[in-house]
Amino acid sequence: MLKEISIILPLHNKGHIIEKTIDQIYSSGLFEKCEVIVVENESTDDSLRKIKKIQKQFLTKLDIKLLKTKKGKGNAIRKAIPVVKYNLCWITGADLPFGFTDLEGAVNDKLSFDVYLGSKSHKESKINRKLSRRIYSSVFFWTRRVLLKLKYKDTHGSLIAKSSCLKKISNTLEQEGFFIDTEIVFQLNKLNFSIVEVPITLINDDNLTTVKPFRDGMKMLYHTFNLAFKK
C-alpha cells in the first residue's frame, strides 16, 4: 500500500464513466492518503454536472479537487501539476484505461526510478492492437527517436512520477492537446531524470477508439518537429 498519492484525471466528455473511475479509486485499497485532481476541460456532455455530484457524494471519503480549463489534455495537466500535494503523482485517463496495472508495476519496482511510463508497447503488455495502430506507433517511435533522442517506445500511455520532477518542468510545458505526454517525457529526459517503461493491461479502450491514425499522426509529426526545433 502506498502512503500517499496525487492522481491527475483530465476530464473531457467522460460523464458516462467518471463515477465508475472514482468508485474504483476509492475502493482500490492501494493508498493510505489520496487526492484526485479532476480537470474538466470544456466537455459537451454532462461530465461537469457528474463530477460536481460525485464530489459532494465523496466529500468525507475522498479528497477530490475540481479544476476547470479550456479544452485540451495539455491544458488540463498543466493546470493540475502546480497544485499537486503529495510526493508521488499519477497521470492517467478519466476512464482508467489500464486499471491500476501501470501503478502496480511501479510499486512492484519499489518506485526506484523517478518516472514510470505505462507503456502499451512494452513486450509484456496485454493489449490487442490493429495493424493501423501498430504502424502509427512504430512511425511515431522512430520519429521521436531520431528527432527528440527519446528511446521510449510509448510516450502516450500513463505516467507515474515524483511530483518534484514534474514541478521542475511545469513552467516549460506549452502543449494544449494530447502531445503533452511526449512533451513531459522530453523535458524530464532533458533533465536526466531516470525513466523506465512498465507493462500494462488494457482494461478500457475508450480513449483509443477516438484515435484516427492518419489525422493524429500528422499532428504528432508536426508537434514533434516543432519540439525538436525548439530544443
- In the chain, the amino acid numbered 122 is H
> In whole angstroms, what is the distance from residue 10 CA to residue 92 CA?
8
**Is position 210 within any domain?**
no
In this predicted structure, the answer to whether residue 212 has a pLDDT above a threshold of 80 is: no
**Is position 76 within any domain?**
yes
Q: In percent, how much of the chain has pLDDT > 70?
A: 93
**Is position 136 within any domain?**
no
In this predicted structure, the answer to whether residue 204 has a pLDDT above a threshold of 90 is: no
Cell numbers that stand for 81 in this block:
501539476
**Is position 83 within any domain?**
yes
Confidence of residue 120 (pLDDT cuts 50, 70, 90): very high
Number of domains in the chain: 1
Q: How far is CA 50 from CA 16, 28, 54, in A?
A: 9, 21, 6
Helices 213-230, 131-147: crossing angle, 10 deg rounding: 10
**Is position 213 within any domain?**
no
Q: How far is CA 56 from CA 25, 29, 51, 63, 94, in A?
A: 16, 21, 9, 10, 18
Which of 131, 155, 153 lies closest to 223, judged by CA? 155
**Is position 186 within any domain?**
yes
**Is position 84 within any domain?**
yes
Mean pLDDT value of segment 11-23: 97
Q: Which long-range contacts (CB under 8 A, 24 or more apart) does 217-221 make?
A: 217/136, 217/139, 217/140, 219/177, 219/179, 220/140, 220/143, 220/179, 220/182, 221/140, 221/143
Question: What's the pTM?
Answer: 0.92
Residue located via cell numbers 518534484:
164
For 32-70, what is each residue's pLDDT tens digit? 999 999 999 999 999 999 999 999 999 999 999 999 999
CATH number of the domain to which 81 belongs: 3.90.550.10
Backbone angles phi, psi at 162, to 5 degrees: -65, 130
Contact of 27 with 1, CB cutoff 8 Å: no
> Strands 115-119 and 195-199, how do they pair?
parallel
**Is position 179 within any domain?**
yes
Domain that holds residue 41: 2-126+154-205
